[in-house]
Chain A
Amino acid sequence: MIDTLFLVGLAASALRFATPILFAALGETMAQRSGVLNVGLEGIMLVGAFAGMVGAVWTGSPWGGLVIAMACGMALAGLHALFCLTFRVDQILSGIALIVLGTGLSGFGWRLTLGGTGTPPKAPPFPRLDLPGLSDLPVVGQILFQHQPMVYLGIALAFALAWFLRRTTWGLEIRAVGENPAAADAAGIGVLARRYGCVLFGGAMAAAGGCYLSVSQVGGFVENMVSGRGFIAIACVVFGQWRPLRVLCAALLFGAAEAAQIRLQLIAPHIPYQLFVMMPYVVAVAALVVVARSTRLPAALGRPFVPDR
């Protein structure tokens, strides 16, 4: 059963599994590089999934849904920023509150809006973005160039952020704020402003990941549909060592493990399926153990900044 068709399906499926995690992980990378930990991605992704679906139905466009999802994600992340940065609440506590809040808001909101209507709503789907010429290539075309636009956007975003962090003044300032906020402050860089910006960006991206799940992939919302992807995204940030391109690889690895496990279930029905279901998590744990030795977190991660004056 393992042939070209199988491998093509596997690789394409890995990309689809990776995309929602990638968006959330890239946003979190920026927040953490600026020194703010947000463990509430799961909650923001759920709100993004819900708001994206409602937005797509209301505006009649999947892009409208994406914009509304990102706005709602920023609102939630804004709350996190307010608590952590302005009121200096413990970042983990605030993040956990966000998970609970996001789970409740999305479930309740769904029932108040479209969920209570009985018939499932029809959201306009993203069109499949075929690239002329490329999509028709055998194997490569089928793996890489027959996806919905958000898959390409996610990959492009990883490259853009890698460039942004490394090559731009703003990128340098964000890194400085995450490593040594006191020095950055002394150099006249607004620490809180940079951090607010990064946390809000992280919220928008996590919500975009959720929106991909509901609007782009499923065309519907189910309570708790994010199913732990928000936590996997945080693992990807660490595994990717806070570098966008490595985070991309981490997300792809996780996607590949998930895509492989559902196919192995079909090929080897006599092996208990729990073994395969475990695979992505085993990969995640193994990967973290491998990189943990050489990992250095942003020095000021999780610490509130108190201006010294």
Chain B
Amino acid sequence: MMALASALGVTGAQAAEKPAALIIAQGGLGDQSYNDLANAGFKRGLEAAGLKGRTVESKDVVAQANDILRRASDAEFGLIVDLEYSHGTPMLEVAKDYPNTLYGILNQVRKAPNIVSVLFQEQEGSYLAGLLAASVTTDTSIKGINPEPIIGVIGGTKSAGIDKFIAGYIAGAKAANPNTQVLVAYSNNFADPALGQQMAKAMFESGADIVYHVAGGTGMGVIQAAKAAGRYAIGVDADQDGIAPGSVLTSMIKRTDVAVENVVKAYGRGEKIGGTTMAFGLKENGVGLSEMKYTKTLIPAAILAKVEAAKADIIEGRIKVWNVVEQGYPDYLK
């Protein structure tokens, strides 16, 4: 095949043969969220590209960034996709020493000729979640909804990466109803569901009836609190609607799987993606709301139509949602 290609004088793109690796982030496989989702896309990508690959897990994934990356690089992988956010800086260093290996990093831009950066437009999906929540929160015909225009959001920590979601959510809520009050709180911990449960409970007691969580495992407790109180949670990253059917209004899905799948496929086709940034927004199906399998029938059709219209507006560029990472903090979230 290669001989044929060279005989025909075909240059440029050559299908990759070296296996691919996926470095798993903190929280590990089995988190029913970020890592599991990415791994599903990784497997699909490998299958489509006809490549071999494996996942790399480590107990001390943050502290041993250099070791993990170098070991994977020495192991003759052609592509190393790293899910751990804190590996961005170490990757820059390691990538210099292995110019023939392609690296992929998520949720940040790292400039090197053999690193492909993957970004998600989480603010776009969160905007839709906020729009939906603010529209639902005053519709008392829906079970468990009070008349007050109050909704909530719980972030795992205060950082641009998390506030990107929160700013989009608030923007969407204000677009639906400028009088909406959005309660914002941070758990300061991504793995404390008992804390998340008590935080959501406090928000429900303050008049909120829908609480969005951007807090990983802490969010498990937010969903549990919604179920116990007969109110609603909004899930994040993966489709979490099924965790408590009927109590999760929707989930803001970040299609890490779509992104990883596309990176693996592009690598498999031999495309020169090193040094580029791949952005996944509503348009690329990289973010979006869940199909609302259990709640669709509860929500009035007019509200769902409004969400669809906003989605189209964002895709067509008629609405530009504030991006905290690129634009800094907006006035409504200082």
Q: Could you tell me which A residues sit within 8 Å of B by CB distance?
A: 1, 5-6, 9, 13, 16-17, 20, 104, 107, 110-111, 115-116, 118-120, 213, 217-220, 222-225, 227, 258-259, 262-263, 265-266, 269, 273-274, 277
Q: Are B189 and A227 in contact (CB under 8 A)?
A: yes
Residues of A within 8 Å of B185, CB to CB, are 262, 265-266, 273
Contact (Cβ within 8 A) B193 A225: yes
Beta-carbon contact of B191 and A9 below 8 Å? no
Question: Contact between A220 and B184 (Cβ–Cβ < 8 Å)?
Answer: no
Stretch at the interface among B12-20, B198-206, B277-285: B198-206
Contact B194 A13, beta carbon cutoff 8 Å? no
State the CA gap A274–B188 with chains docked (Å): 8
| Residues of the B chain whose Cβ atoms lie less than 8 Å from the Cβ of A227 | 189, 191-192, 194-195
Contact yes or no, B194 A9, CB < 8 A: no
Kindly list 19 other residue pairs between chains A and B, CB separation below 8 angstroms, not including A9-B202, A227-B194.
Answer: A9-B205, A13-B198, A16-B198, A20-B194, A111-B30, A115-B32, A118-B32, A213-B193, A217-B221, A217-B224, A218-B220, A222-B191, A223-B27, A224-B191, A227-B191, A227-B195, A262-B199, A265-B184, A273-B188
Main SS at interface, chain A: helix
Number of B residues near A (Cβ < 8 Å) is: 34
B172 at interface, CB cutoff 8 A: no
Q: Is the Cβ of A218 less than 8 Å from the Cβ of B197? A: yes
Contact of A225 among B30, B59, B183, B191 (CB under 8 A): B191
Cβ-defined partner of A218 (8 Å) among B184, B199, B201, B221: B221
A/B interface sample: 27 pairs, CB < 8 A: A13-B202, A17-B198, A20-B194, A107-B28, A111-B30, A115-B32, A119-B242, A213-B193, A213-B194, A217-B194, A217-B221, A217-B224, A218-B193, A222-B220, A223-B27, A224-B191, A225-B191, A225-B194, A225-B217, A262-B185, A262-B195, A262-B202, A266-B185, A269-B184, A273-B188, A277-B186, A277-B188
Query: If the complex has contacts A218-B220, A277-B186, are A223 and B191 also in contact, measured as CB distance less than 8 A?
Result: yes
Chain A residues contacting B193 (CB-CB under 8 Å) are 213, 217-218, 220, 222, 225
Q: What is the number of contacts between chain A and chain B, taking CB atoms within 8 Å?
A: 95
Q: Which residue of B lies closest to A120 (CB)?
A: B243
Give bound CA distance, A259 to B195, whole Å.
9
Q: From residue B97, how far is it (CB to closest CB) to chain A in Å?
A: 32
Whole-angstrom CA separation of A7 from B221 in the bound complex: 22
CB distance from A119 to the nearest CB of B (A): 7
A217-B28 Cα distance, complex, nearest whole Å? 23
